[in-house]
Amino acid sequence: MRFLKNNIFVTAPSDSINNEGDKLRLENAIKKFDTLGIKVILGKTVNIKNVYSNDEYKRKALEVEGALLDDNIDTVIAANGGDTEINIIKYIDFDRLKSKINKEKIFQGFSDNSILTFLLTTLSDWKTFYAPCFPTFGYDNWDKTIMDNLELLKGNIIEQKSQDFFETNSFKKIKGKELYGYNLDTPSKIFELTGKDNFIIRGTLLGGCLDVLKQIVNSKYDKIREYNNKHTKIIWFIENCAMNIYELKTTLEDMDKNDWFKNVSCFMIGRGKVTLNQQFLNKQNILLLNILAKYNVPIIINCDFGHVRPFNTLITGANVILNYENFKYTLRYEDIV
């Protein structure tokens, strides 16, 4: 894997940068990396006006594929999320990317970028970073998980920990506080749903945002059965950003019957915007038990990733040691090269 040394290419396979707060954070992130001696290269898609046409989807696909194949680029990070990335994948040559496996590099993003973080792993055998989009580096104040993200981008194998607080009331859309950073204002309550206590599990990380991954299930891009043949212990990390209970139920049932969870060794459930509502979170936990308990593996709730900050860096396709003890967990990668 080619780690971050000299430069970052920012591209927009999903939405471009389209609000003032993200523009401020983008500019500030470029300045921060400049002080670190790392050049930020902006793709042409980053600042375009989204019109959601086939020409635009092809343009986005060619830009991100070109950046991934460019030997002069260290790291590729998505500019933003959205809900249209599924439309670019028909223009991406995943076989060509697979053939360049010895020159693979990091692609990082989350939310709608789950489409690429997931498919680059399952179709092209790349490791990808499920972690915040590039403007997050533009905060003036970095929490521990943002600092951890940078260390992992550089190839440093560090131990990540679940955090003591999470963000309920974000500053990012408040005028004058766009660059402040995460507002970690709520005590975290991480726990295991089935009553399991302390455990250590080794497995391969796989997952992303269910709101968009549901579009891959049972499509021509669904190669999970083949992936399961090569990876017998999978730690599934999943989050529900905005689906209602019925949508979530349908999504999990579709994944279940299409063997997505056949080789699961643990479920890590992140935080979505809908789960900030305690009543909804309770319903979601009951649903998770009803569908996933049959696998008789741990189900860890309220993990630090997803649409609610903070955000551990989850390397899709990487082997990790997950240690759960006293309502906390640690993550340490065994090999991320």
- For residues 118-125, average pLDDT: 97
Looking at the domain that runs over 7-153, which CATH code has it been given?
3.40.50.10740
Q: Answer whether residue 337 shows pLDDT above 70.
A: no
Residues present in the chain in total = 337
What are 82-105's pLDDT values in tens digits?
999 999 999 999 999 999 877 789
Q: Answer whether residue 260 shows pLDDT above 70.
A: yes
Instruction: Let me know: does 334 contact 202? Beta carbons within 8 Å.
Output: yes
Residue 296 token pair: 């008789």
Instruction: Let me know: does 47 contact 71? Beta carbons within 8 Å.
Output: no
212: region left, alpha or beta (phi > 0 left; psi from -120 to 50 alpha):
alpha
CB-based contacts of 144: which residues, under 8 Å, 6+ apart?
A: 161, 163, 310
- For residues 67-89, average pLDDT: 97
Determine if the peptide bond prior to 298 is cis (ω within 30°).
Answer: no
Percent of the chain with pLDDT over 90: 96
Q: Is residue 273 exposed (0-12), middle (13-18) or buried (19+ Cβ within 10 Å)? A: middle
| pTM of the complete model | 0.98
Alpha helix (H) residue ranges in 103-158? 114-122, 144-153
In the chain, domain spans: 7-153, 160-335
What local confidence, expressed as pLDDT, does residue 2 receive?
A: 87
- Fold assignment, 160-335: Glucose Oxidase; domain 1 (3.50.30)
Q: Answer whether residue 336 shows pLDDT above 90.
A: no
CA atoms within 13 A on the CB side of 31: 10
What are 152-202's pLDDT values in tens digits?
999 998 999 999 999 999 999 999 999 999 999 999 999 999 999 999 999
Distance from C-alpha of 286 to C-alpha of 143, rounded to nearest angstrom: 32
Distance from C-alpha of 211 to C-alpha of 112, rounded to nearest angstrom: 8
